[in-house]
Amino acid sequence: MNHQDHVNLLQPANLPLGGLWADFGAGSGAFTLALRELIGPEAEIYALDRDRSRLSKLGRAYRSRFGSSPISEGRLHLIQADFTQALDLPMFDGILMANSLHYYKDKERILRHVRSFLKQDSLFLLVEYNVDSGNPWVPHPLSFETFRVLAPRAGFGPPELLATVPSSFLRQFYSAIARKREDAPSF
């Protein structure tokens, strides 16, 4: 997939411009860059990953694609951290998880934790392989149908399928969006 493919997976969400966003499990930033393109230069993005070298690559790609200016400086925060652990972060208008949830077996616990960083009535974007059985590189993928059942249990409203794209690796990718449900219990 290329940059435009990443943008196309997120674009149907019709995201508002600006805001405070996070990319949990950002890696080298393919989807961070797509998110930034869609939410604009006034948005602020926290990109979290455990791998410092991948975050450095993201920083370079971000500057290369969007330039360095007084507006863009300070709009991308590269944070080396494990997003499954306790973190000192602001509350976000939206969180993106692209190809990071499939590393965890207990997805409901992870999603509840991620939900705790979202403001009231905020957005959760998921990009995943659309299968339920993995392999050594993608150990615990979840299909959209599985996410449809899991999201409400984790405190989100019913998810909406945004887009799909073929994958030569595991059938296809999908993108989905769900809103934080305020009436869900906190854990």
pLDDT (average), residues 25-37: 96
Check whether 183 has a pLDDT greater than 90.
no
Structural domains of the chain ordered from first start: 3-179 (3.40.50.150)
pLDDT attached to residue 58: 95
Q: Convert the pLDDT of each residue in 79-135 to its tens digit.
A: 999 999 999 999 999 999 999 988 888 999 999 999 999 999 899 999 999 988 878
Phi and psi, residue 153, nearest 5°: -65, -25
- The whole-angstrom separation of Cα 21 and Cα 53 is 21
Instruction: Answer for the pair 36, 47: CB distance below 8 angstroms, yes or no.
Output: no
pLDDT attached to residue 182: 77
Q: Convert the pLDDT of each residue in 129-158 to its tens digit.
A: 998 887 888 888 999 999 999 999 999 999
- The whole-angstrom separation of Cα 163 and Cα 154 is 22
Q: Convert the pLDDT of each residue in 7-21 to its tens digit.
A: 999 999 999 999 999
Q: What is the DSSP letter of 26?
A: -
Report CA dihedral (52, 91, 179, 19) to the nearest 10 degrees: -80
Residue with tokens 């652990």: 85
pLDDT (average), residues 54-77: 84
- The whole-angstrom separation of Cα 172 and Cα 80 is 29
pLDDT attached to residue 78: 95
Amino acid at 121: D
